[in-house]
Amino acid sequence: MARLSTIATWNRNPADEEAMGAVHAPIWRRMADVSVPHDLGSSTVLDYGCNQGGFLRLLYDGHSFQSAVGIDIARESVARAELLKGQRPIEYKVADSAASLGRVFDYAFSHEVLYLLPDLAAHARDIRAALQPGAAYVAAMGCHTDSSVWPRWRKLIAETSSIPLYDHSLEDVSKAFAGAGFSVSVRPLALDAFMPVAIGSAYFPKVVDQLRYYTADKVLFRFIRQP
Ligand SMILES: C[S@@+](CC[C@H](N)C(=O)[O-])C[C@H]1O[C@@H](n2cnc3c(N)ncnc32)[C@H](O)[C@@H]1O
């Protein structure tokens, strides 16, 4: 088994890592609301690349599940997630492999992690090993080569990420998961929230870039594990 390689925080600037959750919260809410039934009841949930754990906290508060695990290679972020979880039935762990948890889940999620993984086929096999047959993995992805803002974002994110970025297309992702025994479907995130406009933003030079990103470029894949 390959040795686990960890980092302190994903963003080189810990203050920016801390700020990421507030930006992602409306996106996490949309992911949850379009992907799962209202109450997850007896279901178990995995969040791959959980960072400070905000997605699972938000999911539990709106769709209470039985239990969940969040994994990430960023040690300080995982420690922060453990501190913030309160009484929710969530465990956060430093790990890069879902299969290594030795559990099978009813749902898995990831938000903006696929572009940080060099080998999508290996990731698909890893997630498959951690899901029940028929279970869904919902992966949100705006960082891909088919996005109109990717050439700009690739440079900006590379300056802040403490690990390398990869140029995956939506086809690359689809092929990797189909090849690992998943049925693959996709939809636009189609965010239904007012997002703050930052005039002169390096990420969205024009307001229309932001509108296009959140309605068309950013997608939700749903991979269903075949038997
Ligand atoms: C862009 S951040 C997104 C974090 C979180 N999902 C969110 O929505 O705020 C990407 C996260 O993926 C984590 N990550 C990158 N490669 C990973 C790997 N191989 N295994 C687990 N986590 C990984 C990073 O440490 C970072 O926390």
Per residue in 70-80, pLDDT (tens digit) is 999 999 999 99
Q: How confident is the model at residue 3 (pLDDT cuts 50, 70, 90)?
A: confident
Say if 130 falls within a structural domain: yes
Specify if 86 maps to a domain.
yes
pLDDT confidence bin for 2, thresholds 50/70/90: low
Give the chain's domain count: 1
In-domain check, residue 168: yes
Tokens of 200: 């002169």
pLDDT band, residue 130 (cuts 50/70/90): very high
Ligand 1 center–CA 66 separation, angstroms: 23
CATH of the domain at 180: 3.40.50.150
User: Cα separation of 48 and 76, whole Å?
Assistant: 16
**CB–CB of 112/141 below 8 Å?**
yes
Domain-located, residue 62: yes
Count of CB atoms situated within 10 Å of the CB of 8 = 14
Residue 3 falls inside a structural domain: no
> Residue 19 carries which side chain, given as an amino acid letter?
A
Question: 78 C-alpha vs ligand 1 centroid, how far in Å?
Answer: 10
| pTM beyond cutoff 0.95 | yes
**Ligand 1 touching residue 20 (CB < 6 A):** yes
> Confidence class of residue 175 from pLDDT cuts 50, 70 and 90?
very high
Query: Does residue 4 lie within any of the structural domains?
Result: no
81 domain-assigned: yes
Quote the domain boundaries for residue 209: 14-225
Nearest to 50 by CA among 42, 60, 41, 40: 60
Q: Which of 19-23, 93-97, 161-165 has the lowest mean pLDDT?
A: 19-23
